[in-house]
């Protein structure tokens, strides 16, 4: 009997397969494996040359990606809620969008907005109200991040005033076209062309040159206007002429200019500083002033310094007001601070306010009938301030004041 061990047929078949010539499929597989390994090596080589992110950078990237995802999700939720609301009301959103496009082509939507704005200005008696001026002469003292915050705050100011029940005229002085503040505002579509028709004016000259009497302004008008609105009108006219020569139909609404005011097609007029009433006064608002603002006067321009410094720049607004008074005594600029401590309990919160918060407080005080500083301030400050209105306020803060 043959007692030889059994032959492993599997091993024999594998050995035979190794000795057999490679097929076309085997050759293609090896080529693919080689290409894959080559790409992996190249990727690893590139990764080695690219600097790795630090932990803080990775955290910032994750936070940014998370905030973008949240923003996208909220936008989708708002879109869905809008659709559900329209369905409940029996509205057809597609038909409404088509109608909006038709109104945009015909100009009906623009005329409707202009008529509504004209009605708001008439009801608010804007021509008899106080004015607000933002002094943007401090850009050299601020960092690029602070300047960016300032331009954002000015955009908030425009938006709040445009939607306000009782808007006021706003002048931005010292806003050079090559400044970072202007470039930040320029990111908004329509600036400064569309803003002119919404009680908003920008001047390249400083406050002292813009408001220093009629004779000074007449001299500057002879040399060349510094009002960006007028420059915008000229640029718009030139663009229209170029487009008309090319045979392109323009849909932009004209902005015309009068002697002492800027007028748009709807008839809304924004008086320039040259048209100020007799006895007009100027008050520079700053927390460094020893004087407390008790009420608002309708024949006064309240100046807000375009400063974002986190309380780093001390007395710069006061020093600027004093310097202007020395050079232009006729302006007689006074300084004052908002009555914060007289009406609120701040606790551990800071008393530093942004430019748009100061503006909103003045606007809210006017809407409240020129009374109750405490309620006006509390309604504007963010919840993180955690301020409380004093219960024992009296005198100037609770009594309604007569204005000129």
Average pLDDT in the chain: 76
Buried-exposed string 263-298: b where 16+ CB fall within 10 A, e elsewhere: ebebebbbbbbbebeeebbbbbbbbebeeebebbbe
Say how many domains are in the chain. 1
Q: Could you tell me what percent of the chain has a pLDDT over 90? A: 29
Taking Cα atoms as reference points, which of 157, 85, 161, 167 lies closest to residue 125?
167
The residue ranking higher by pLDDT, 402 or 384, is 384
Per residue in 48-101, pLDDT (tens digit) is: 555 688 888 899 999 999 999 999 999 999 989 988 888 888 888 888 888 878
Per residue in 294-327, pLDDT (tens digit) is: 999 999 999 999 998 877 888 899 999 999 999 9
DSSP code, position 197: G
Q: Does 193 reside within a domain?
A: yes
DSSP code, position 183: H
Q: Does 229 reside within a domain?
A: yes
Q: Does 359 reside within a domain?
A: no
Min mean pLDDT across 115-119, 168-172, 334-338 is at: 115-119
Cα 40 from Cα 42, distance rounded (Å): 5
pLDDT at 284: 95
In sequence order, the 6+-apart residues with CB closer than 8 A to the CB of 279 are 299
* Residue 9 in this model has a pLDDT that exceeds 60: no
**CATH number (domain holding residue 147):** 3.40.1280.30
The residue ranking higher by pLDDT, 2 or 145, is 145
Token pair recorded at residue 82: 């809008």
- Domain hosting residue 187, numbered range: 105-338
* Residue 344 in this model has a pLDDT that exceeds 80: yes
Q: Does 259 reside within a domain?
A: yes
Q: Does 386 reside within a domain?
A: no
Sheet containing 300-305: give its strands across. Answer: 200-202, 170-173, 131-135, 300-305, 281-285, 334-336
Q: Does 130 reside within a domain?
A: yes
pLDDT at 166: 92
Beta strands 200-202; 170-173: pairing state:
parallel
The residue ranking higher by pLDDT, 165 or 269, is 165
pLDDT at 361: 94
Q: Does 207 reside within a domain?
A: yes
* Residue 358 in this model has a pLDDT that exceeds 90: yes
Q: Does 293 reside within a domain?
A: yes
């Amino acid at each position: 009997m043959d007692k030889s061990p059994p032959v492993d047929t599997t091993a024999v078949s594998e050995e035979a397969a190794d000795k057999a010539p490679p097929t076309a499929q085997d050759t293609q597989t090896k080529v693919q494996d080689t290409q894959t390994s080559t790409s992996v090596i190249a990727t690893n080589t590139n990764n080695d040359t690219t600097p790795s992110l630090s932990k803080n950078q990775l955290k910032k990237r994750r936070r940014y990606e998370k905030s973008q995802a949240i923003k996208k999700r909220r936008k989708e939720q708002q879109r869905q809620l809008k659709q559900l609301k329209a369905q409940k009301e029996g509205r057809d959103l597609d038909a409404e969008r088509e109608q909006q496009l038709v109104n945009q082509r015909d100009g009906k939507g623009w005329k409707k907005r202009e008529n509504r704005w004209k009605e708001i200005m008439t009801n608010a008696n804007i021509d008899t109200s106080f004015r607000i001026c933002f002094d943007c002469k401090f850009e050299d003292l601020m960092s690029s991040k602070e300047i960016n915050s300032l331009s954002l705050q000015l955009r908030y100011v425009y938006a709040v005033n445009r939607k306000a029940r009782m808007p006021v005229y706003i002048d931005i002085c010292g806003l050079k076209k090559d400044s970072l503040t202007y470039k930040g505002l320029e990111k908004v579509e329509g600036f400064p062309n569309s803003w002119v028709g919404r009680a908003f004016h920008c001047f390249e000259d400083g406050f002292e040159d813009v408001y220093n009497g009629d004779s000074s302004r007449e001299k500057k008008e002879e040399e060349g206007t510094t009002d960006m609105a007028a420059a915008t009108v000229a640029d718009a006219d030139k663009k229209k002429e170029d487009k008309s020569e090319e045979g392109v139909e323009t849909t932009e609404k004209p902005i015309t200019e009068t002697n002492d005011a800027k007028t748009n097609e709807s008839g809304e007029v924004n008086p320039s500083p040259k048209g100020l009433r007799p006895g007009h006064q100027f008050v520079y608002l700053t927390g460094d002033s020893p004087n407390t603002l008790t009420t608002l006067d309708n024949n006064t321009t309240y100046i807000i310094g375009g400063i974002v410094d986190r309380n780093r720049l001390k007395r710069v607004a006061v020093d600027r007001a004093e310097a202007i008074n020395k050079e232009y005594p006729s302006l007689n600029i006074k300084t004052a601070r908002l009555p914060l401590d007289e009406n609120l309990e701040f606790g551990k919160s800071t008393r530093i306010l942004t430019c748009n918060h100061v503006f909103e407080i003045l606007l809210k005080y006017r809407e409240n009938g020129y009374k109750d500083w405490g309620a006006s301030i509390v309604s504007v400050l963010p919840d993180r301030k955690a301020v409380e209105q004093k219960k024992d306020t009296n005198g100037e803060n609770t009594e309604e004041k007569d204005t000129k």
